[in-house]
Structure 1
């Protein structure tokens, strides 16, 4: 197995470009920046850093790590070396291969026997998928209908929140009664309402006000945004959502997913579908995820069905096949990320995603600003009504039905409610005359007059004043959706590499992060070989002693050893051991604790 000294030497032999790629792929290693290459090696071998690196590996890479000595020329070795999970050390003179690879010791300890191979079990390729052909028409119709329904329901939810904030329990969790009432008012199933509420919160359209124990609107410009921008923002919120699917809506105690579950599931669906109009079977998605993310497959397999259903609701897929907007969005995200830095979000493309916008326009009918007012006191919108017109119409008429062609019914109660909220009879008539493609029926005109008389008789017509607390509302959230904190910038990486090159590989003895790591390494080595080692440790009285011992075990922060002189057992707390020194002559230039 490799030693920390060999690992540091491997890092020192890398070019600046290789170090930069390493720091991009393992950004935790320079947070905060390290002083020298030995400290970088120590940081890279920490349990947390190794765990993060192993999570990015597919099944063949993990199986390769578990089968050392490695077969020559294995295709996974360059990637594993780039990630600093294996090192390439100078070989002995009689070795035919000019360099020999070995796994980093911390990697071997972390893997254990989890991916030990049986004979002939190496999986170099993912399993063959099960694919179902889907016609372009079926896919586009399903995706377009889903996107239209998504935007309509979110807009209706926001109109509701603008007028009446959503009551919640402590911490933002919404109670069962509130969910049922909202579900009935908005005309959606409770499960669908939970999804829309969570999506609105993730997209920062609503925010929780602790003092009022309510959810308030956070973006009052939402109804006036273009539909493509709305869809991009909602999908961006979904992609970067860290909560596990399901559960009570807006519950702050919901479990956090160990991976970007939605991003990895979408990537798997796109990889399986390729450029064809096909829908991969859920089992095939799970099989590919098992090959790509074996360390998280139990969690992923549990939530794949829910994630695939959410893709259908969002219109990312239609009838199980990736939609044109879904493909265009991912392509533009990938292009932006490769052209700039990792961590590019959907929000940054909200106004610069031409391919996605074009794909959406092809699926969605153009918004209309007119409706038909009928003699039965209903207004019928023969298509997707623009958000501005729809919002005003909903203030004066009750919506009926929940299809793409909206139906709104006027009544004296609905008109009185509109006037109570600040609208006047003449503004209602002006709105109807402007947007109705037919003449306003006399019966509706009489109803408007009756509502105005009733309001005037009951008191002065004044807009409802906002509550004092409303003036203290938080500022609207930003118009972009942020991902988890991005990795270091190019300038930060360049500064870190410059610092590493300007310092010796090893710092002063007993200083820096590498000192304690060297002590632990030499102690483990002494336990394995049964060899004697000098310890410099602090006694209970605060004095420093130097004693020659033969370590027996190292566990739970305690070293158990027998003294060479006197042959008696002693126990040392690891935090009291300042340094170690082998009894053999050190090689020239090789550091020790």
Structure 2
């Protein structure tokens, strides 16, 4: 089969193959190409080639390297030459490369984009430039070198093939050479690139590698050893981690509700605040960072964005705290899966050697969710209950499957994802839980049910001890948990939570509106052990002193020397609507703002006036029109691309075919119309009107409402009202037609 260009190869591909290419290499469809020539040009750019290589495994990349070694970027090469370089069958790998248009042509004439050499680096397979002089006697020359010279050659053969040395600038005869490098240069077994650089010739590198370009073991995916576990054991272990996470998140939200930490001027959470959070929750700073990132990512905490910004729990916090455990877990798990940030980076250093703070913009990585799902998907491919023995072994497997994905943080992101997923209860004993498998399949209802089954059943009782501690032998029922949180502090947490009742905690419970009798009744009903007298005395003692001094909230007041007028106001329905209460013969108070109260009284026929602290009348009317405050618009996440649907891919392929047809048919004798890019479309209108009268097809260049340029061959049905209507019932506004030409029959 003769060599063919990439554009010609694409034109011969079926529509299904082109649609799959557009879905696989998403960048090729943005903006939609006008024809296959544009598609081929775009597919051959260095950036697009580099992106297409990110999902390729080590073996497929090795085949691409072998194609470059064979010179497929400059001339067509046969498959046999590639097979010889790789040392094994390459048919399947070539299929993957052809599907991504990283290779094309028949087995006897394979080609790759010239940009592949830029994308993969200057030394394919870690081998140097060819030296034709060594093609025939490389083995004989190699047999003459000594052990020290051979050690240098072996090191360079492992790659990269270049080395820096001060001996490179010396041009000595073999008899005068002293060092191994000098001797190798004299023998012609090293190539001098400059005064400080030498390079191992390709022929010698292949010879030292045994005649193939790659170590055979490196082309085989490493095994992933696993430990078999019962699925129930995995789920229960992960559920225990999830319960501990929920407890810590609850503690964080309550702590920040009372004392929100400030937002750094540069954004993020300060070192002092992070250390305090870690100490309060009794966790390390890595765990504290993860918790902070989760609550912000889930929308439970946000930047207050005022003059002294703080990290404050949002209105979603109350509904989250009131939700069942499984729903709270689902909120956090979903937030982590979609979190466009890498909490593991916190504590490190940025490009300016400054510490990276939690919750700062330095942690933003838009592709982080893709990396997490990649790790979880790899675990999902294992049998149910199978857990990886070592995270490092999983790192090696994923690095083999996609060595070019993830950059310098490739391996660290896998370790971070495993640790964070374990903390969230998505993984237990190194294995994926039943709920996580369902969550990856977008079955949220099933995931919630699986987690509900894994969680221990809530208990409806506690064990009250004589030392005023209360032991919860398991997760408490929501109502009992709320009562215990109100009347006691957590002293230690785990599978059995220990609470301590103190004078302060009893007072706190009374502050919430609970009475002493209700606390006594709660302990009598919920304690599986006798209630000690010490607890009874403590509750009664605090209750006797509680509430003797009382306070209330007032948003405004009304005063008047005429008690009859105040009585008239209290008798009016407006008094009930604004909670007006008499606290003295001449004073009313309300919980509503003064402006609203005065406006309502004026509407009821009264004539009140507002006064300032000094007793003078003030004007409370607004000085101008006001609008509600608007939340700051969320910024687009760079690097994220929408999934191309089958319908969208089919439409782009259809436009490609139309563009090819238009280009091919316009090659005949045509009359070119002036471009209609301005307001004057007279020339275009004349040409289209002529085509309509003569029933001839016309080629047009067209820009749609999204600014995407394309080409069409249209048979005009009618022209008028600023619109061209084709026989295919498509309508083209004349001001969007950039050029037109008659098509030669």
TM-score normalized by structure 2? 0.55
Residue pair 1:131, 1:278 contacting (<8 A) in 2 also: yes
In structure 2, relative to structure 1, the CA distance for the partners of 1:164 and 1:439 (3 Å cut) is farther
Shift of 1:400: 0.9
Deviations 1:534-553 (A, max 9, x none): xxxxxxxxxxxxxxxxxxxx
Please list, as runs of the form range in 1=range in 2, the aligned pairs for 1:129-528 lying within 5 A after superposition.
129-132=224-227, 139=234, 142-211=237-306, 212-218=308-314, 219-220=316-317, 221-244=319-342, 245-247=344-346, 248-254=357-363, 256=365, 260-271=370-381, 273-275=382-384, 277-296=386-405, 298-320=408-430, 322-325=431-434, 328-330=435-437, 333-334=440-441, 349-350=443-444, 352=445, 354=446, 356-387=447-478, 389-420=480-511, 443-444=534-535, 447-448=538-539, 450-452=541-543, 454-460=545-551, 484-504=640-660
Distance in 2 of aligned mates of 1:505 and 1:451: 90
Distance in 2 of aligned mates of 1:87 and 1:505: 22
In structure 2, relative to structure 1, the CA distance for the partners of 1:203 and 1:114 (3 Å cut) is farther
In structure 2, relative to structure 1, the CA distance for the partners of 1:87 and 1:234 (3 Å cut) is same
Residue pair 1:131, 1:280 contacting (<8 A) in 2 also: yes
Task: Compare relative contact order (CA 8 Å, sep 6+) and give the higher one, 1 or 2.
Answer: 1
Distance in 2 of aligned mates of 1:386 and 1:153: 18
SS in structure 1 of the partner of residue 92 of structure 2? coil
Can you give the 5+ residue segments of structure 2 that lack an aligned partner in the other structure?
68-76, 81-89, 127-205, 207-211, 347-356, 556-590, 594-627, 668-745
Shift of 1:59: 0.8
In structure 2, relative to structure 1, the CA distance for the partners of 1:227 and 1:20 (3 Å cut) is farther
Shift of 1:428: 5.6
In structure 2, relative to structure 1, the CA distance for the partners of 1:84 and 1:505 (3 Å cut) is farther
SS in structure 1 of the partner of residue 458 of structure 2? coil
User: In the alignment, which residue of structure 2 is the partner of 1:82?
Assistant: 99
User: In the alignment, which residue of structure 1 is the partner of 2:8?
Assistant: 9
Distance in 1 of aligned mates of 2:517 and 2:15: 72
**CA-atom RMSD in angstroms:** 4.0
Distance in 1 of aligned mates of 2:282 and 2:24: 46
SS in structure 1 of the partner of residue 660 of structure 2? coil
Shift of 1:306: 3.5
Shift of 1:371: 3.1
User: In the alignment, which residue of structure 1 is the partner of 2:24?
Assistant: 25
In structure 2, relative to structure 1, the CA distance for the partners of 1:178 and 1:505 (3 Å cut) is farther
Query: Which deviates more from structure 2 when the two are superposed, residues 409-418 or residues 114-123?
Result: 114-123
Shift of 1:55: 0.8
Distance in 1 of aligned mates of 2:537 and 2:629: 41
SS in structure 2 of the partner of residue 457 of structure 1? coil
SS in structure 2 of the partner of residue 207 of structure 1? strand
Shift of 1:453: 5.2
Residue pair 2:487, 2:505 contacting (<8 A) in 1 also: yes
Query: How many correspondences in the alignment?
Result: 471
Correspondence 1:105 to 2:114: yes
SS in structure 1 of the partner of residue 372 of structure 2? helix
Deviations 1:251-275 (A, max 9, x none): 222263866333333334455x544
In structure 2, relative to structure 1, the CA distance for the partners of 1:105 and 1:443 (3 Å cut) is same
User: In the alignment, which residue of structure 1 is the partner of 2:154?
Assistant: none
Query: Which deviates more from structure 2 when the two are superposed, residues 23-32 or residues 116-125?
Result: 116-125
Larger radius of gyration: 2
Shift of 1:175: 1.6
User: In the alignment, which residue of structure 2 is the partner of 1:36?
Assistant: 35
Residue pair 1:199, 1:234 contacting (<8 A) in 2 also: yes
SS in structure 2 of the partner of residue 408 of structure 1? strand
Distance in 2 of aligned mates of 1:41 and 1:423: 74
Shift of 1:308: 3.0
Shift of 1:462: 6.0
Shift of 1:472: 7.2
User: In the alignment, which residue of structure 2 is the partner of 1:71?
Assistant: 79
Shift of 1:357: 3.8
In structure 2, relative to structure 1, the CA distance for the partners of 1:463 and 1:223 (3 Å cut) is farther
Correspondence 1:125 to 2:217: no
Distance in 2 of aligned mates of 1:285 and 1:249: 27
Distance in 1 of aligned mates of 2:364 and 2:114: 32
Residue pair 2:46, 2:118 contacting (<8 A) in 1 also: no
In structure 2, relative to structure 1, the CA distance for the partners of 1:30 and 1:389 (3 Å cut) is farther
SS in structure 2 of the partner of residue 154 of structure 1? helix
TM-score normalized by structure 1? 0.68
Shift of 1:57: 0.9
SS in structure 2 of the partner of residue 168 of structure 1? coil
